[in-house]
Protein backbone atom coordinates (compact mmCIF):
# COMPACT_ATOMS: atom_id res chain seq x y z
CA UNK A 1 0.00 0.00 0.00
CA UNK A 2 1.41 3.46 -0.88
CA UNK A 3 2.71 5.52 2.01
CA UNK A 4 0.65 8.45 3.27
CA UNK A 5 2.21 11.65 1.92
CA UNK A 6 2.14 15.12 3.47
CA UNK A 7 2.23 18.18 1.20
CA UNK A 8 3.03 21.66 2.57
CA UNK A 9 1.24 24.10 0.25
CA UNK A 10 1.58 27.39 2.13
CA UNK A 11 -1.02 30.10 1.41
CA UNK A 12 -3.22 29.01 -1.50
CA UNK A 13 -6.24 30.29 -3.39
CA UNK A 14 -9.31 28.38 -2.22
CA UNK A 15 -10.94 27.78 -5.61
CA UNK A 16 -7.68 26.60 -7.18
CA UNK A 17 -7.03 24.22 -4.30
CA UNK A 18 -10.55 22.81 -4.50
CA UNK A 19 -10.10 22.19 -8.23
CA UNK A 20 -6.79 20.46 -7.53
CA UNK A 21 -8.41 18.19 -4.91
CA UNK A 22 -11.21 17.29 -7.30
CA UNK A 23 -8.73 16.51 -10.08
CA UNK A 24 -6.53 14.41 -7.78
CA UNK A 25 -9.55 12.42 -6.62
CA UNK A 26 -10.95 11.94 -10.14
CA UNK A 27 -7.63 10.62 -11.44
CA UNK A 28 -6.93 8.23 -8.57
CA UNK A 29 -6.12 4.58 -9.13
CA UNK A 30 -5.66 1.79 -6.59
CA UNK A 31 -1.96 2.71 -6.37
CA UNK A 32 -2.42 6.47 -5.91
CA UNK A 33 -1.00 7.54 -2.52
CA UNK A 34 -3.22 9.09 0.13
CA UNK A 35 -2.19 12.65 0.95
CA UNK A 36 -2.64 15.32 3.59
CA UNK A 37 -2.48 18.86 2.16
CA UNK A 38 -1.46 21.54 4.68
CA UNK A 39 -2.49 25.06 3.74
CA UNK A 40 -4.23 28.30 4.67
CA UNK A 41 -6.38 30.56 2.53
CA UNK A 42 -6.98 34.28 1.99
CA UNK A 43 -10.38 35.39 3.39
CA UNK A 44 -13.21 33.36 1.86
CA UNK A 45 -16.59 31.93 2.83
CA UNK A 46 -17.36 28.43 1.59
CA UNK A 47 -20.98 27.38 1.16
CA UNK A 48 -21.60 23.63 1.32
CA UNK A 49 -24.31 21.56 -0.29
CA UNK A 50 -26.86 22.11 2.51
CA UNK A 51 -27.74 25.68 1.51
CA UNK A 52 -31.33 25.85 2.78
CA UNK A 53 -31.86 28.76 5.16
CA UNK A 54 -28.22 29.91 5.12
CA UNK A 55 -27.63 33.49 6.29
CA UNK A 56 -25.23 34.96 3.75
CA UNK A 57 -22.67 37.55 4.87
CA UNK A 58 -23.19 41.22 4.09
CA UNK A 59 -19.55 42.10 3.59
CA UNK A 60 -16.96 42.16 0.81
CA UNK A 61 -15.47 38.70 1.48
CA UNK A 62 -16.15 36.34 -1.46
CA UNK A 63 -18.50 33.36 -1.12
CA UNK A 64 -17.63 30.16 -3.00
CA UNK A 65 -20.09 27.30 -3.54
CA UNK A 66 -18.41 23.99 -2.71
CA UNK A 67 -19.24 20.30 -2.91
CA UNK A 68 -18.67 19.27 0.71
CA UNK A 69 -21.46 18.58 3.13
CA UNK A 70 -22.70 21.16 5.61
CA UNK A 71 -23.58 24.82 5.34
CA UNK A 72 -21.37 27.91 5.47
CA UNK A 73 -18.03 28.56 7.15
CA UNK A 74 -15.15 31.00 6.93
CA UNK A 75 -11.48 30.50 6.10
CA UNK A 76 -8.78 33.12 6.48
CA UNK A 77 -5.11 33.71 7.27
CA UNK A 78 -4.10 32.30 10.65
CA UNK A 79 -6.33 29.25 10.25
CA UNK A 80 -4.64 25.89 9.69
CA UNK A 81 -6.30 23.70 7.07
CA UNK A 82 -5.49 20.04 6.52
CA UNK A 83 -7.18 18.49 3.51
CA UNK A 84 -7.48 14.71 3.64
CA UNK A 85 -7.30 12.94 0.29
CA UNK A 86 -7.94 9.39 1.43
CA UNK A 87 -9.01 6.17 -0.30
CA UNK A 88 -11.48 4.98 2.32
CA UNK A 89 -12.14 1.61 0.71
CA UNK A 90 -8.43 0.77 0.61
CA UNK A 91 -8.10 1.75 4.26
CA UNK A 92 -11.27 -0.14 5.26
CA UNK A 93 -12.72 3.09 6.63
CA UNK A 94 -16.12 4.72 6.46
CA UNK A 95 -16.79 8.44 6.68
CA UNK A 96 -17.87 8.30 10.32
CA UNK A 97 -14.63 6.58 11.28
CA UNK A 98 -12.59 9.18 9.43
CA UNK A 99 -14.50 12.01 11.13
CA UNK A 100 -13.72 10.38 14.49
CA UNK A 101 -10.03 10.16 13.60
CA UNK A 102 -9.96 13.86 12.72
CA UNK A 103 -11.84 14.88 15.86
CA UNK A 104 -9.80 12.60 18.14
CA UNK A 105 -6.51 13.89 16.74
CA UNK A 106 -7.56 17.48 17.43
CA UNK A 107 -8.86 16.67 20.91
CA UNK A 108 -5.69 14.76 21.82
CA UNK A 109 -3.47 17.56 20.53
CA UNK A 110 -5.39 20.15 22.55
CA UNK A 111 -5.20 17.91 25.63
CA UNK A 112 -1.42 17.81 25.22
CA UNK A 113 -1.52 21.63 25.44
CA UNK A 114 -3.59 21.46 28.64
CA UNK A 115 -6.91 22.31 26.96
CA UNK A 116 -10.02 20.16 27.41
CA UNK A 117 -11.94 19.86 24.14
CA UNK A 118 -14.90 17.75 23.04
CA UNK A 119 -16.72 16.66 19.90
CA UNK A 120 -20.48 16.99 19.44
CA UNK A 121 -22.68 14.33 17.84
CA UNK A 122 -25.09 16.98 16.51
CA UNK A 123 -22.46 19.32 15.03
CA UNK A 124 -19.20 17.86 13.70
CA UNK A 125 -16.15 19.72 14.87
CA UNK A 126 -14.23 20.33 18.09
CA UNK A 127 -15.33 22.63 20.91
CA UNK A 128 -13.73 24.23 23.97
CA UNK A 129 -16.10 25.52 26.65
CA UNK A 130 -18.92 25.54 24.11
CA UNK A 131 -16.96 27.56 21.54
CA UNK A 132 -15.93 26.02 18.24
CA UNK A 133 -12.20 25.84 17.56
CA UNK A 134 -12.14 23.40 14.64
CA UNK A 135 -14.49 22.58 11.77
CA UNK A 136 -14.80 19.45 9.62
CA UNK A 137 -16.22 18.88 6.17
CA UNK A 138 -15.76 15.99 3.75
CA UNK A 139 -16.82 14.92 0.28
CA UNK A 140 -16.89 11.29 -0.80
CA UNK A 141 -16.52 10.24 -4.44
CA UNK A 142 -15.97 6.63 -5.54
CA UNK A 143 -15.09 5.78 -1.92
CA UNK A 144 -12.33 8.40 -1.93
CA UNK A 145 -12.66 11.56 0.16
CA UNK A 146 -11.35 15.09 0.04
CA UNK A 147 -11.82 18.35 1.98
CA UNK A 148 -10.86 17.97 5.64
CA UNK A 149 -10.44 20.06 8.80
CA UNK A 150 -9.71 23.65 9.77
CA UNK A 151 -8.24 24.74 13.11
CA UNK A 152 -8.42 28.37 14.25
CA UNK A 153 -4.97 29.46 15.45
CA UNK A 154 -4.37 33.22 15.23
CA UNK A 155 -6.92 34.83 12.94
CA UNK A 156 -9.54 37.54 12.73
CA UNK A 157 -12.69 35.84 14.05
CA UNK A 158 -15.03 38.73 13.18
CA UNK A 159 -16.07 37.28 9.78
CA UNK A 160 -17.61 34.32 11.63
CA UNK A 161 -20.00 36.75 13.35
CA UNK A 162 -21.39 37.77 9.95
CA UNK A 163 -22.71 34.24 9.31
CA UNK A 164 -24.27 31.37 11.27
CA UNK A 165 -21.19 29.14 11.35
CA UNK A 166 -22.08 25.69 10.00
CA UNK A 167 -25.73 26.76 10.20
CA UNK A 168 -25.82 27.45 13.95
CA UNK A 169 -27.04 30.93 14.87
CA UNK A 170 -25.00 32.47 17.65
CA UNK A 171 -22.22 29.88 17.43
CA UNK A 172 -19.20 31.33 19.21
CA UNK A 173 -15.71 30.68 17.85
CA UNK A 174 -12.36 30.51 19.60
CA UNK A 175 -8.74 29.88 18.61
CA UNK A 176 -5.50 28.60 20.09
CA UNK A 177 -4.16 32.13 20.71
CA UNK A 178 -7.12 32.90 22.97
CA UNK A 179 -6.40 29.68 24.89
CA UNK A 180 -2.81 30.79 25.60
CA UNK A 181 -1.28 28.14 23.37
CA UNK A 182 1.97 29.77 22.29
CA UNK A 183 2.86 27.36 19.48
CA UNK A 184 3.00 28.80 15.98
CA UNK A 185 1.25 27.35 12.93
CA UNK A 186 4.21 25.34 11.52
CA UNK A 187 4.69 23.52 14.84
CA UNK A 188 0.97 22.88 15.24
CA UNK A 189 0.72 21.63 11.66
CA UNK A 190 3.67 19.27 12.14
CA UNK A 191 2.23 17.81 15.34
CA UNK A 192 -1.31 17.42 13.99
CA UNK A 193 -0.25 15.82 10.71
CA UNK A 194 1.98 13.41 12.65
CA UNK A 195 -0.98 12.39 14.83
CA UNK A 196 -3.23 12.00 11.80
CA UNK A 197 -0.62 9.98 9.92
CA UNK A 198 -0.19 7.63 12.86
CA UNK A 199 -3.93 7.03 13.20
CA UNK A 200 -4.54 6.66 9.47
CA UNK A 201 -1.56 4.35 9.01
CA UNK A 202 -2.75 2.19 11.89
CA UNK A 203 -6.08 1.47 10.20
CA UNK A 204 -4.66 0.99 6.69
Residues 6 or more apart whose Cβ sits within 8 Å of residue 115: 128, 179, 181
CA gap 166, 169 in Å, rounded: 9
Q: Is 149 annotated as a binding residue?
A: yes
Dihedral (Cα; 80, 57, 66, 128), 10-degree rounding:
40
Determine whether the annotation assigns residue 73 to a binding site: yes
Contact 138, 61 (CB under 8 A): no
- 78 labelled ligand-binding: no
Catalytic residue among 84, 144, 145, 166: 166
Whether 135 has a binding-site annotation, put simply, is yes
Residue (of 44, 57, 36, 48) closest to 12 by Cα position: 44
Sheet holding 72-75, edge to edge: 63-65, 44-47, 72-75
The reply, when asked if residue 75 is annotated as ligand binding, is yes
Q: Is 199 annotated as a binding residue?
A: no
31 is in an annotated binding site: no
In angstroms, the CA 21 to CA 37 distance is 9
Active site residue 166: yes
Q: Is 136 annotated as a binding residue?
A: yes
Phi and psi angles of residue 40, each rounded to the nearest 5 degrees, phi first: -145, 160
DSSP 124-155: -SEEETTEEEEEEEEEEETTEEEEEEEEESS-
- Confirm whether residue 70 is marked as ligand binding: yes
105 is in an annotated binding site: no
Residues annotated as catalytic are: 166
- Tell me the binding residues for substrate: 68-75, 135-137, 148-150
- Tell me the binding residues: 68-75, 135-137, 148-150
Amino acid sequence: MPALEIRQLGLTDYAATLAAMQAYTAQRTTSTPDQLWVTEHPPVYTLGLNRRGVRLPQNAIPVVNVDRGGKITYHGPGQLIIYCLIDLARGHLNVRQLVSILEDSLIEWLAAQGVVAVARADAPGVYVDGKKIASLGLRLKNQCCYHGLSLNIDMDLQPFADIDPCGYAGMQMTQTRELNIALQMPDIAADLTHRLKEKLTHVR
